[in-house]
A and B are shown apart, each in its own frame.
Chain A
Amino acid sequence: MAELVELREAVTGLMSDGDSVALEGFTHLIPTAAAHEIIRQEIRDLTLIRMTPDLIYDQMIGMGCARKLIFSWGGNPGVGSLHRFRDAVENGWPRPLELEEHSHAGMANRYVAGASNLPFAVLRGYVGTDLPKVTSTIVPIKCPFTGEELVAVPALNPDVAMIHAQQADRRGNVAIWGISGIQKEAALSAKRVIVTVEEVVEKFEPRPFQIVLPAVAVDAIAVEPGGSRPSYADGYYDRDNAFYEAWDGISRDRKRFGEWMERHVLGTRDFAEYTKFIESEETLR
């Protein structure tokens, strides 16, 4: 049952070195505050899971939090490469990164299987591509009814899922509206669930395309206003495109990246202080 806690407390209590963790978000509601807390607490040897690893995965990989990445598309959306991800894959810096690479369809179905407590998912895909040659978790399977050749991919059941949502109510239910990506499936597939929210409200108002994650499916809720910046939170703030562009320069160089992270993330107490620091800087960052 969801408890309202401080993010620091949630991460300390629910995460350990070596965990598999999914911080989901499909360019909307990216759980930046949660990722920063993982970095601040110097949690290590993580298996990071995400359909679309972006800036926060670049940061966690560059800071040495990750041992392995399970993913389907890794980039700086609308800008280009993730330089820390590339450096880890191409040069093993700061440590080698094991890859388990899928397509979006495969990853989405793996979460669905995990949320359904099934051992694997079945789909039409991958056949004829080189992905099965490099990813051992893509296996042909014959339909027991028709004999059709299909593909099986194993369920994802992360130790921890972290998502950012617009609102929670006092009872711990979580409301997300707008593009909700694969967050519901990721949360329901995980053993422990941490949700950061923009605010806690008395009662949810009806919104178009709103989904509600009931309190029983959540372990910890932490209020983190602006917690998905520089991505956007529908109804609260827009995407900070300039930050995505600036990240290309910051992350390109190991030293500059390290100094930036030291100053902005390790050097701030929490996400609120980080946000104030970012806003106080005239030139980007």
Chain B
Amino acid sequence: MTDNGALEYTTDEMMTVAASRELEDGAVCFVGIGLPSEATNLARATHAPNCLLIYESGTIGAKPEVLPLSIGDGVLAEHADSVVSVSEIFNYWLQAGRVDVGFLGAAQMDRYGNINTTVIGTYESPKVRLPGAGGAPEIAASAREVVIVLRQKPRSFVEDLAFVTSVGHRHGGDSRGELGYGGAGPSMVITDLGILRPDPVTKELTMTALHPGTTVEEAKEATGWELEVAAKVETTDPPTERELEILRDLKARTEASRKKA
């Protein structure tokens, strides 16, 4: 607690808590590893005990007791409702339209929520070779909506993507619709500074909420393009004591289990 009685928390904790709140109870959620996994498991431990978490390794209804370090950790299978092959996950679940929301991370993102996880520089002679697509292109295509969780920095929020690995709102406007995808694309981007949502018409990501203590100027400085800011910017509710307690407990137990292993 600070002197005035407010809770102390980090910007990363605020980001994870804000992202977790966006997962509705009962939703079928395709989860990426890292920040998305942290947020969705926090949601499962707080307001969304009945969400169905799907990981691309083949686990459906995963209920990990600690956060998985990798996408195929044993904790994902341990209490899962079902474990199926990777081809079933992508064909029967994702492509078939059974996924309500995909939670994704990224290396780089542009103003329309398109994602690069392939290369920095040119493809032929890359400056940095990134891991590649993984499951992201089809999650971005077929999940009914997509929530992106990503720290807001000029290096990750870029004007031009070196490579489009996964499609968000493409070139803005109706351009995504021309691709015939089943899903509607990114509905929001949750960062350590606030929340961006696509403009209803242009589909450009617009800063619609800031976390407590963050200024519009900070958000603009952290963005590699000329950031659109909503006429009325909301302030995110800070993490509650319960959210923080559960998140910290989850992370402490995860850390302890890693040391043990």
Once bound together, how far apart are the Cα atoms of A149 and B127, in whole Å?
34
Chain B residues near A103 (CB-CB < 8 A): 133-138
- Give the A-B contact count at a CB cut-off of 8 A: 175
Contacting A181 at CB < 8 Å: which of B58, B129, B136, B163?
Answer: B58
CB proximity of B98 to chain A, nearest CB, Å: 14
Interface residues of B in 195-244 (CB under 8 A from A): none
Once bound together, how far apart are the Cα atoms of A262 and B134, in whole Å?
32
A107 to B, closest residue via Cβ: B86
Interface residues of A in 208-262 (CB under 8 A from B): 208-209, 232, 234, 238-242
Interface residues of A in 175-197 (CB under 8 A from B): 178-182, 184-185
Q: Does A120 have its Cβ within 8 Å of any Cβ on chain B?
A: no
Q: Does A5 have its Cβ within 8 Å of any Cβ on chain B?
A: no
Interface residues of A in 61-113 (CB under 8 A from B): 71-75, 77-78, 81-82, 85-86, 89-90, 101-105, 108-109, 111-112
Q: Which of B74, B125, B135, B182 has its CB near the most chain A CB atoms (within 10 A)?
A: B74
Interface residues of B in 33-83 (CB under 8 A from A): 33, 56-59, 69-74, 76-77, 80, 82-83
Chain A residues near B86 (CB-CB < 8 A): 26, 51, 104, 108, 181-182
Chain B residues near A181 (CB-CB < 8 A): 57-58, 72, 85-86
Q: Which of A122-130, A268-276, A277-285 contacts B (4 or more CB under 8 A)?
A: A122-130
How large, as a class, is the contact surface on chain A? 35 or more
Once bound together, how far apart are the Cα atoms of A139 and B157, in whole Å?
31
Once bound together, how far apart are the Cα atoms of A112 and B180, in whole Å?
24
Q: Does A134 have its Cβ within 8 Å of any Cβ on chain B?
A: yes
Q: Mark A26-49, 1 if CB is under 8 A from B, else 0.
A: 111000000000000000000000
Q: Does B170 have its Cβ within 8 Å of any Cβ on chain A?
A: yes
Q: Does B11 have its Cβ within 8 Å of any Cβ on chain A?
A: no
Does A129 contact B142, Cβ atoms closer than 8 Å?
no
B134 to A, closest residue via Cβ: A73
Contacting B132 at CB < 8 Å: which of A73, A239, A242?
Answer: A73
Does B134 contact A104, Cβ atoms closer than 8 Å?
yes
Q: Does B26 have its Cβ within 8 Å of any Cβ on chain A?
A: no
Q: Would you call the interface of chain B mostly helix, strand, loop, or mixed?
A: loop
Once bound together, how far apart are the Cα atoms of A224 and B167, in whole Å?
43
How large, as a class, is the contact surface on chain B? 35 or more
Q: Does A14 have its Cβ within 8 Å of any Cβ on chain B?
A: no
Contacting A149 at CB < 8 Å: which of B69, B135, B180?
Answer: B180
Once bound together, how far apart are the Cα atoms of A241 and B57, in whole Å?
18
Contacting B165 at CB < 8 Å: which of A51, A108, A123, A129?
Answer: A129
Q: Does A148 have its Cβ within 8 Å of any Cβ on chain B?
A: yes
Q: Does A131 have its Cβ within 8 Å of any Cβ on chain B?
A: yes
Q: Does B164 have its Cβ within 8 Å of any Cβ on chain A?
A: yes
Chain A residues near B118 (CB-CB < 8 A): 101, 130-131
Does B71 contact A105, Cβ atoms closer than 8 Å?
no
Does A77 contact B133, Cβ atoms closer than 8 Å?
no
A178 to B, closest residue via Cβ: B77
Q: Which of B57, B87, B94 has its CB near the most chain A CB atoms (within 10 A)?
A: B87
Q: Does B6 have its Cβ within 8 Å of any Cβ on chain A?
A: no
CB proximity of A140 to chain B, nearest CB, Å: 11
Chain B residues near A128 (CB-CB < 8 A): 164, 167, 170, 176, 179, 181
Chain A residues near B33 (CB-CB < 8 A): 77-78
Does B123 contact A134, Cβ atoms closer than 8 Å?
yes
Does A26 contact B132, Cβ atoms closer than 8 Å?
no
Does B138 contact A105, Cβ atoms closer than 8 Å?
yes
Given contacts A130-B163, A184-B85, contact A179 B59 (CB under 8 A): yes
Once bound together, how far apart are the Cα atoms of A129 and B247, in whole Å?
35
Once bound together, how far apart are the Cα atoms of A126 and B181, in whole Å?
10
Once bound together, how far apart are the Cα atoms of A49 and B99, in whole Å?
28
Given contacts A77-B70, A128-B164, contact A72 B134 (CB under 8 A): yes
Once bound together, how far apart are the Cα atoms of A108 and B133, in whole Å?
13
Does A178 contact B83, Cβ atoms closer than 8 Å?
yes
Interface residues of A (CB under 8 A from B): 26-28, 51-52, 71-75, 77-78, 81-82, 85-86, 89-90, 101-105, 108-109, 111-112, 123-131, 134, 148-149, 178-182, 184-185, 208-209, 232, 234, 238-242
What 9 A-B pairs come out closest when comparing CB atoms? A27-B72, A77-B70, A78-B69, A75-B131, A73-B134, A209-B83, A108-B87, A105-B90, A105-B138
Interface residues of B (CB under 8 A from A): 33, 56-59, 69-74, 76-77, 80, 82-83, 85-87, 90-91, 94-95, 118, 123, 125-129, 131-138, 141-142, 163-167, 170, 176, 179-182, 258, 261
Given contacts A111-B87, A179-B59, 19 further A-B contacts (CB under 8 A): A26-B58, A27-B70, A28-B72, A78-B33, A78-B69, A78-B70, A81-B131, A90-B127, A104-B90, A108-B86, A109-B90, A112-B87, A123-B90, A125-B142, A131-B118, A131-B133, A179-B77, A208-B83, A239-B74
Q: List 10 A-B contacts (CB under 8 A).
A: A77-B33, A104-B135, A105-B91, A105-B135, A124-B142, A127-B181, A128-B176, A179-B59, A181-B57, A234-B74
